[in-house]
Amino acid sequence: MTVADRRVAALDLMMELVLLLGGDMTQSLARDGLTVSRAHLLWELRHRGPSTQRVLADALGVSARTITGLVDGLATTGFVTREPHPTDRRATLVTFTAHGAQITETMERGQRDLAQLLFAGIPADRFGHFTEVLGEVMTRLRAQIPPGEVL
Amino acid sequence: MTVADRRVAALDLMMELVLLLGGDMTQSLARDGLTVSRAHLLWELRHRGPSTQRVLADALGVSARTITGLVDGLATTGFVTREPHPTDRRATLVTFTAHGAQITETMERGQRDLAQLLFAGIPADRFGHFTEVLGEVMTRLRAQIPPGEVL
DNA sequence: TATTGTTATACTCTATAACTATA
DNA sequence: TATAGTTATAGAGTATAACAATA
């Protein structure tokens, strides 16, 4: 196998990772009544606190219209509420319900569990090399993406 | 940073990879008039040759109805045609047009270019460790996914 | 009877454009 | 004028269920 072939094989492996990790996430979220996009919104909310829809649109890199739909769905299913903005009457603050906050914590725990499952028992030096190369690859990939894309 | 934290950080990095690689792919495919799902279908066609829609549905892990829609789109935009199955009059054989075959080759070249971009210049031993750990992680992930899921 | 692919219906995510209420 | 969010409209991907043609 040539060097080029080994590189393509590594990319194939990363692509398979994308598919498997994506599929696994989709299914596990569906069990909680969530989609990937809605979970992404909850994730941002977790890290930012109550936020306007405009802020969420920029954070997720989607249109304002899309956020309206996502918040509609999350409000109907009881994960968030729309609260009036204290000073700007045009804006709403998307805010967790108790259920939404609890589910988000559960997601965070699930993430820790998955990380243990995937990496536990790998010798520290090998794990270190792995994350270093992965970091380098990510740096190259970020440089490749037209700036101002996909938060 | 604890060991557990480092593992979560590595998983975060892989999640970012999923997002960036996915976004990059989506955009580059859009320039060719394709979506991720349609490209996935072309990819299977490339590796299997002319196939029935039933076979494609199983390969992509989606319903027969979804394949009808994907083939409709690809036929309208001139990537594939539906040809009669030589022996089973219920079935159709999805087949590349010249344009479809050419675009698929272009995609394959693009994949090689991306692999070079991401991995070129990384010392062989580090690259080797990286793919070994990645392979181990993939093995664990595959074991985790309920069997008979996401080809 | 079983299988292939379609039509019918529905939900989610996405976008642009036009519009309302507010800044 | 500019901004926040909505309604209107449209396209894509996904699913299940009912149905036609064929095996």
- The single-letter code of the amino acid at B150 is V
A53 touches strand D (CB under 7 A): yes
Task: Provide the shortest C-alpha distance from residue B121 to chain A (in Å).
Answer: 11
A-B Cβ pairs (cutoff 8 Å, strict): 147
Q: Per the CB < 8 Å rule, is A115 touching B10?
A: yes
For an interface test with B, the pick among A24, A25, A119, A142 (most B C-beta atoms closer than 10 Å) comes out as A119
CA distances from A12 to A19, B138, B145 (A): 11, 11, 18
Confidence class for position B150, pLDDT limits 50, 70, 90? very low
Written as six digits, the tokens of A80 are 């968030």
| Tens-place pLDDT, residues A76-89 | 999 999 999 999 99
Question: Which pLDDT value is given to residue A146?
Answer: 59
| Tens-place pLDDT, residues A1-56 | 899 999 999 999 998 888 888 888 898 999 999 999 999 999 999 999 999 999 99
Q: Per the CB < 8 Å rule, is B141 touching A15?
A: no
Q: Per the CB < 8 Å rule, is A150 touching B19?
A: yes
Return the HEC string of chain A: CCHHHHHHHHHHHHHHHHHHHHHHHHHHHHHCCCCHHHHHHHHHHHHHCCEEHHHHHHHHCCCHHHHHHHHHHHHHCCCEEEEECCCCCCCEEEEECHHHHHHHHHHHHHHHHHHHHHHCCCCHHHHHHHHHHHHHHHHHHHHHCCCCCCC
Question: Which pLDDT value is given to residue A17?
Answer: 87
Question: Which residues of B are less than 8 Å from A129 in CB distance?
Answer: 126, 129-130, 133
Question: Which pLDDT value is given to residue B43?
Answer: 96
Q: Is the whole model's pTM more than 0.85, yes or no? A: yes
Given a contact cutoff of 8 angstroms between Cβ atoms, the answer to whether A125 and A87 are in contact is no
| Tens-place pLDDT, residues A111-134 | 999 999 999 999 999 999 999 999
Cα(A120)–Cα(A112) distance, integer angstroms: 11
- When pLDDT is averaged across residues A79-104 and rounded to a whole number, the result is 98
